[in-house]
Amino acid sequence: MTKEIKFSDRVLEFNAWLANISFDLFDHYCIRNPFSGEDKEKIKEITSMFYQKYYHDNHKRCLILGSSPARRGTAVTGIPFEDASHLYQETGIMIDDFYIQKNSSNFLYDVMEQYGGCQKFYEDFYMNFVCPLGIVNVNSKGNEVNSNYYENKKLENMLYPFIVESLKKQISFGIDTSICYCIGSGENFKFLTKINDQYHFFNQIVALEHPRFIMQYHSKDRDQYLDKYLDALNYKD
């Protein structure tokens, strides 16, 4: 009897594909790939536990896309927008003793909680990034600085085919393409709209402000942005 392929299987297969992706970028830009790094076996264990817990079904889900993983966030954990301390609570596996929760992560967890909890949220949504691998720029002091695919035209052009292929693969999971949510209402939204104009992946793209932007510059309006997220995410119903 043939085993039914679940949404979780497709995500883990996608991650296995990402593990084989590498780029020789220019200047001081580098890719950070958690699926092929030194902790790849631990990441594989964590992602397997996480996706089998929340995605072991064949529900239609909407995509929520950030720009690219932060070097101390998803580029470490392998699970979009989940930080190490929260994943420790989920799986009991410690990824990185140095990493701590940040306000932007807490904002998204509050969104999930008010939406109906993690189980309900992940039943309706699948989160990832326009560029699903992390990008860093090594500065003159030798420190890694988070970078985005769109901050340099040459970088954007180099990653464009990979980004398109990544989106195609994720949509094939069984994504509801009637609406896509874009975290980042500036350059990320502009770029994703350009891709969608060319490939017609989604009927509609809804822009949402990045939690880091909210917490860093508009923390006093946090509840208003929380309501905006919830109104947008509930729109699909």
pLDDT band, residue 92 (cuts 50/70/90): confident
| Residue that the structure tokens 């994703």 belong to | 192
Question: What is the average pLDDT across 106-123?
Answer: 93
Compute the average pLDDT of residues 7-17.
98
How far, CA to CA in Å, does 213 sit from each of 21, 72, 137, 190, 216?
30, 17, 21, 17, 5
Q: What integer pLDDT is reported at residue 115 of this predicted model?
A: 96
For residues 221-232, give the mean pLDDT. 96
Give the per-residue pLDDT at 100. 46
Element (H, E) at 193: helix 187-199
Mean pLDDT within 115-132: 96
- Confidence class for position 144, pLDDT limits 50, 70, 90: confident
* Cα–Cα dist 125/164, whole Å: 20
pLDDT, position 141: 83
How far is Cα 56 from Cα 1, in angstroms, rounded to an integer?
18
Is residue 3 very low, low, confident or very high in pLDDT (cuts 50, 70, 90)? Answer: confident
pLDDT number for residue 98:
43
Q: Give the mean pLDDT of 91-96.
A: 68
Mean of per-residue pLDDT scores for the chain: 89
In the chain, which ranges are E strands? Answer: 29-32, 61-66, 125-129, 134-138, 144-147, 175-183, 205-208
Domains of the chain: 7-235 (3.40.470.10)
User: Could you read off the pLDDT of 167-181 as tens digits, one per residue?
Assistant: 999 999 999 999 999
Greater model confidence, 150 or 94: 150
DSSP string, 68-121: S--TTTHHHHSSTT--HHHHHHHHS----TT----HHHHHHHHHHHHHT-HHHH
pLDDT of 70: 80
Alpha carbon distance 191, 15 (integer Å): 23
- pTM for this prediction: 0.92
Instruction: Report the pLDDT averaged over residues 149-164.
Output: 96
The DSSP bridge partners found for residue 144 are: 138
Spatial separation of the C-alpha atoms in residues 70 and 145, rounded to whole Å: 9
CA dist 189 and 59 (Å) reads 26
